[in-house]
Amino acid sequence: MTDQKRIESEVREANEFFRNLISSSVDGIIAADMKGNIFIFNNGAENLTGYTAEEMIDRIHITKLYPEGVAKEIMKKLRSPEHGGVGKLNPSQLNLVSKKGEEIPFQLSAALIYDSEGKETASVGIFTDLRPRLAMERKLEQTHMQLVSSEKLASLGKLAAGIAHEINNPLGGILIYASLMLEDLPPDDDKRQDLARIIQEAGRCKEIVKSLLEFARQSEPRMEPVDINLTITEGLFFLENQAFFHNIRIIKNLEPSLPFARGNASQLKQVFMNITVNAAEAMHGSGTLTIATSFNRGRRQIVIEFTDTGEGIPEENLTRIFDPFFTTKAIGKGTGLGLSTAYGIIEGHGSKIEVKSKVGVGTTFTIPLAPYPETQPIAEGHSGAAA
Ligand SMILES: Nc1ncnc2c1ncn2[C@@H]1O[C@H](COP(=O)(O)OP(=O)(O)OP(=O)(O)O)[C@@H](O)[C@H]1O
Ligand SMILES: [Mg+2]
């Protein structure tokens, strides 16, 4: 082999090597002459833009890859000393226009190439797809926001519990002294009405304090076998005797041989009562509330359903009713903690409250619960269903 031939073969090999180097880069590499005609368009550039090298090289002008005016701006920056030195462009975030016409965010680092006399002959850019990174950043941001809001809720709960606890004692004082004064007043004293009002309002404060404390309670409930029918009946016993329930028909369709549920009886009673009170409020004191229990053998689930003939819940509120402090009731009437407390309790039981509603027709709340694994179905006649 002559020297001449050896040199030629070495040049060819070196060229081949550089071509491979460029084409195997994950990042897009694009080079264009000073007129904007593309002469290098690697695999990475094809993946990023959706154009093939064949379509681009010597055919499509480099400015077509950018939104209007951007290519010119890049050249200006390349020639200025301010963006990494004359002939250089430090990594910058830009958009390119893909073959489909989408704008794709990418990072560009670019340089001008000079000939031996210092004349500009070409520009070359390295294009990094920013979509995966931006998507990850968005996800991180979302997770962060969720964390912040659940932390907020937790510390709000602690704050509320602290305040509620402190208010409880003076409130007790107000109630006791007002009651004592009321006892001392003669039956025809016209201050009696005012005092009764004080007692009534202080009683309401106590109720609010109680629900705040319940809402904030974060301790794990003790799980035991619970007779669901009995728990429902006990909860109703409290409510049925109140004046507000006198014109409400309550139908109990309780499955007599329901297995025990795995749960905490006093917490579950509270859930049933909250839902029952809501139903009565939605029916404005008259209507029908149907409470049904059943056992779904296929799913091995106890199912408890509360169906009312109340005003219903508009679709846009369905996702909000379980939020703490969400209420549609008048100021002073509802705190908006009933359902969020109930939701938290049922979540603590490893389940979820479901709701279906039709405005003007009524609402059904469904609570699925797991049976207590070790126990058999309750013998007929033993449970609250007999009541
Ligand atoms: N059975 C129902 N029918 C129609 N709307 C309901 C029903 N149950 C709940 N809601 C709606 O959900 C909202 C939130 O209920 P939630 O029990 O959490 O708070 P509240 O009843 O307003 O106040 P609180 O229970 O703290 O006294 C209610 O204000 C009401 O708009
Ligand atoms: Mg309520």
Give residue limits of the domains in the chain.
Answer: 3-129, 136-216, 224-386
For the cut 60, the answer to whether the pLDDT of residue 354 exceeds it is: yes
Average pLDDT over residues 380-386: 45
Which sign does the torsion angle of CA 274, 279, 281, 285 carry?
negative
The finding on whether 338 has its CB within 6 A of some atom of ligand 1 is yes
**DSSP string of 244-277?**
GGTTEEEEEE--TTPPPEEE-HHHHHHHHHHHHH
Indicate whether residue 356 lines ligand 1 (CB < 6 A): no
Q: Mean pLDDT for the chain?
A: 89
Contact between 238 and 273 (Cβ < 8 Å): yes
CATH architecture of the region 136-216: Orthogonal Bundle (1.10)
CATH code: domain 3-129 is 3.30.450.20
The pLDDT assigned to 374 comes to: 56
pLDDT value of position 105 = 95
Nearest ligand, measured from the Cα of 329: 1
Ligand nearest to the CA of 211: 1
Q: Which residues pair with 96 in a beta bridge?
A: 104
Do 3-129 and 224-386 have matching folds? no
pLDDT above 70 as % of the chain:
93
Cα 111 to ligand 1 centroid, rounded to whole Å: 65
Ligand showing the shortest atom-to-Cα distance for residue 356: 1
Share of residues in the chain with pLDDT > 90 (%): 65
pLDDT at position 221 over 80: no
- How far does CA 73 lie from the centroid of its chain? 42
CA distance 163 to 209: 9
pLDDT confidence of residue 119: 94
Q: Name residue, tokens 């077509």.
A: 64
Q: Tell me which of 79-83, 152-156, 266-270, 364-368 is least confident.
A: 152-156
Residue 67 alpha carbon to ligand 2 centre in Å? 55
Three-state DSSP state, 96: strand
What pLDDT shows up at residue 383? 46
What span, in angstroms and rounded, lies between the C-alpha atoms of 324 and 265? 23
Task: Calculate how far, in angstroms, residue 229's C-alpha sits from the geometric centre of ligand 2.
Answer: 22
Q: Is the CB of 340 under 6 A from ligand 1?
A: yes
DSSP letters, 123-158, are: EEEEEEE-HHHHHHHHHHHHHHHHHHHHHHHHHHHH
Nearest atom, ligand 1, residue 327 CA: 29
- Is the pLDDT assigned to residue 248 strictly greater than 70? yes
Ligand 1 centre distance from Cα of residue 217 (Å): 20
Q: Whose CA is nearest to atom 8 of ligand 1?
A: 278
Degrees to nearest 5, angle at CA 278 with 276 and 279: 65
> For 25-41, what is the mean pLDDT?
94
Nearest residue by C-alpha to atom 31 in ligand 1? 328
| CATH node for 224-386 | 3.30.565.10
Measured from the Cα of 311, ligand 1's closest atom is 4
* Count of other CB atoms within 10 angstroms of residue 137: 11
Selected residue with higher pLDDT from 155 and 334 = 334
Give the pLDDT score at 149: 67
Kindly indicate the confidence band of residue 207, based on its pLDDT and cuts at 50, 70 and 90: confident
Residues 109-142 have pLDDT tens digits of 999 999 999 999 999 999 999 999 999 998 888 8
Q: How far is the CA of 310 from the centre of ligand 2 (A)?
A: 14
The answer to whether the CB of 276 is under 6 A from ligand 1 is no
The preferred substitution site among 327, 335, 341, 363 for testing ligand 1, maximizing ligand atoms within 8 Å of CB, is 327
Tell me: the pLDDT tens digits for 271-316? Answer: 999 999 999 999 998 999 999 999 999 999 999 999 999 999 999 9
Mean pLDDT of 67-74: 93
Among 322, 339, 358, which residue has the most ligand 1 atoms within 8 Å of its CB, making it the best to mutate?
A: 339
Separation CA 122–CA 27 (nearest Å): 19
Buried b (16+ CB within 10 A) or exposed e, 228-261: bbbbbbbbbeebeeeeebeebeeebebbbebbbb
pLDDT for position 1:
65
Task: Indicate whether residue 284 lines ligand 1 (CB < 6 A).
Answer: no
d(CA 169, CA 163) in angstroms, rounded, equals: 11
DSSP 228: H
- Residue 371 to residue 175: CA distance in whole angstroms: 43
Query: Which ligand 1 atom sits nearest the alpha carbon of residue 310?
Result: 3
Q: How confident is the model at residue 143 (pLDDT cuts 50, 70, 90)?
A: confident
pLDDT of 387 reads 38
Nearest residue (by CA) to ligand 1, atom 12, is 321
Residue 93 bridge partners (DSSP):
107
More confident residue, 322 or 385: 322
Q: What is the pLDDT of residue 111?
A: 96
Return the ligand number nearest the Cα of 340. 1
Residue 380: its pLDDT value, please? 47
381 pLDDT tier (thresholds 50, 70, 90): very low
Confirm or reject: Cβ of 308 under 6 Å from ligand 1: yes
* Whole-number pLDDT of residue 168: 84
Question: Could you tell me if 353 and 305 are in contact, meaning their C-beta atoms sit under 8 angstroms apart?
Answer: no
